[in-house]
Each structure stands twice: as C-alpha cells, then as structure tokens.
Structure 1
Amino acid sequence: MSGAGAPTTIADATGLTAVIVAASWHDTVMDGLIDGAQRGVRACGLQDVPVVRVPGTFELPVAASRLASRYDVVIALGVVIRGGTPHFEYVCEAATIGLTKVSVETGTPVGFGVLTCDDEQQALDRAGLEGSREDKGFEAATAALVTAVTLKD
C-alpha cells in the first residue's frame, strides 16, 4: 500500500446532492469508511448526506445505479477480503465494472471507496480509523465531489 501521491483536492460542492451507499460486511472497516466519507462531504460543504446500506459489495452497483438518478454524486463504499476461493475476484471485478458502468452511463460521478484487500489488516490500514495509514472513505467522497464540481463548471 503506497498512499503516496494521493490528491488532496477539496472543492466547494455547496448546492450539490450526494448519497453514500455502503456495504454491510466487516463492521469496523465499514464504520471507518463511512465516517471518512462523511468527513469528506463536510469538507466540501455538504451536510446531512444520507447513508444507504446494502448487504455486500456485490450489491453496490445496482443501488448506485438507482441512486444516480436522484443525486448529483454517489459515494460507494465496500470491502472485500481475499479468502480461499475465487469469490474474491468475482466480487471485486463485478463491483469495479458495475460502478464504472453506472458512472459512465449516467454521467453521475461515483466515488470508488471499495477496498480489495488480501487480509483484514490491510483493510483496517485503509479504513480511516485511528491508527490507519489511509482514509479511503474520505478520498472516495472528495474525489467524486471534486469531479462533480468540475463537470458542473
């Protein structure tokens, strides 16, 4: 995990609408990602952004697709931790392709806050928790909002 080179751009997104759609697996990691995303939207001038929960990362694209028609920005958060079967690859690929498709087809920026990790420690290191090395929820939120502001201008 590098963390090096990550942009720190914040934009004034006042007046835009956003929603956080988050998977439910791995409570501690997800709590950190959601907290980070909420900090990110507040840093960009938004308040009271709703959080919609879905069962897992695989369900993020369908929820994001529906929500993209109602919000200016969708912030998708999830975590997939490698196990002993190919399930990891299937879920990661489906989430990545699905969320990309939502963004491109709707024109709605989708913040990609899906952690794809080899083990739980890697996820904790990226979750924005106290002691984490990275804050991927914050990064996903601000990236989507900066993109929305850029496209609006």
Structure 2
Amino acid sequence: MSGAGAPAVEVDASGMTVEIVASLWHTEVMDGLVAGAIRAAEAAGASYRVTRVPGAFELPVVAEALARKGADAIACLGVVIRGGTPHFEYVCDAVTRGLTDVARVHATPVGFGILTTDDDAQALDRAGLPGSSEDKGAEAVEAALATALVLRDL
C-alpha cells in the first residue's frame, strides 16, 4: 500500500526558505500539490517562494539555478502519467536523474514531489486534495527542510 510506513516529520525551519518549483501540467493535481507544499512550509515556520515551469522535464534546470544561488531547500512538484508511448519512462528517468544530480552536486536538499502514476486517479489520490489519501506536496517540503536541518548541523 502506498504511504505505508511514512515517517511523521515535524520540522522547525524558522529562518529558512524553501523554493517550491512546480510544473503546470495537470492543473487540479498541481494545485493540490502546491497548496500542500505551502501548508507544510508555513507549518515549519519557513518562508517560501513558488516558481512555475511548463512541465516536469523543466524542473531540474530551475532547481539547478536555485541551488547555485544558495537555496536552503528546494521542493520540486510535478506529475507524469503513463501513456501509450515510452514518453513516461524518458521523462521520469530524466527528472529523477536531474534532481538527484542537483542535490548531490550542490549538497542542497531537493524534495521529490514528482508523481509518477499509471492514471489520473492515482495522481489525484496523492495530491493532498480533499479525499486524497496522501499529500506528496507537503511531504516533499517536509523532507527538503528536514534534510536542510541535518546538513546545517553536520
């Protein structure tokens, strides 16, 4: 079952800023993810900025620019829904590798809020909307901020 075993993360990120980078595709899902990300940033006491990009493929280049500018934490949000072509695999692989590289090269936490689902229903169930079973936007921000605190304390 998706979401089973998820940790309860409580973060005091006062004085930190989380950069929320979100794609524009799948408006209803993305609106839920962004709202959840903002709620999590506010609950953690962090300031935030939301930057929108056309699609998931564009997330890594913007995350890279933000990491170079010294972002405390970055949360990337997007949706890639499987279709009848290999597009799904190419985009998911490129985004995952790109965001991993940003985090590793810059030692900047990047919260992975990319939904990679088989259909719209699975995406809606993870979007943090009323009736959704999960809130991946909030989880991405919580993970990025919690990791930023770990890095700060090393």
Matched positions, count: 152
1:116 alignment partner in structure 2: 116
Instruction: Write the letter of the residue equivalent to 1:115.
Output: L
| Equivalent residue, structure 2, for 1:79 | 79
**2:68 alignment counterpart:** 69
Partner Cα separation in structure 2 for residue 11 and residue 3 of structure 1? 19
| More displaced 10-residue stretch of structure 1: 2-11 or 121-130 | 2-11
Counterpart residue type for residue 61 of structure 1: P
Question: Match of 2:62, SS?
Answer: helix
Give 4+ residue runs of structure 1 displaced > 2 Å after superposition. Answer: none
TM-score (norm 1): 0.97
Cα deviation for residue 69 of structure 1 reads 2.3
CA–CA distance in structure 2, aligned partners of residues 27 and 7 of structure 1:
28
Contact 2:20 2:51 in 1 (8 A): yes
Q: Which moved more, 1:75-84 or 1:5-14?
A: 5-14
Partner residue in 1 for 2:19: 19
1:10 CA displacement: 1.5
Letter of the 2:44 counterpart: C
Output the aligned Cα RMSD: 0.8
Please say which of residues 99-108 and 10-19 is displaced more in the overlay.
Answer: 10-19
Amino acid at match of 2:138: F
For the residue of structure 1 that corresponds to 2:35, the secondary structure is: helix
- 1:103 has 2:103 as partner: yes
Q: Give me the whole-angstrom Cα distance separating, in 2, the residues matched to 1:27 and 1:6.
A: 26
Query: TM-score, normalization: structure 2?
Result: 0.96
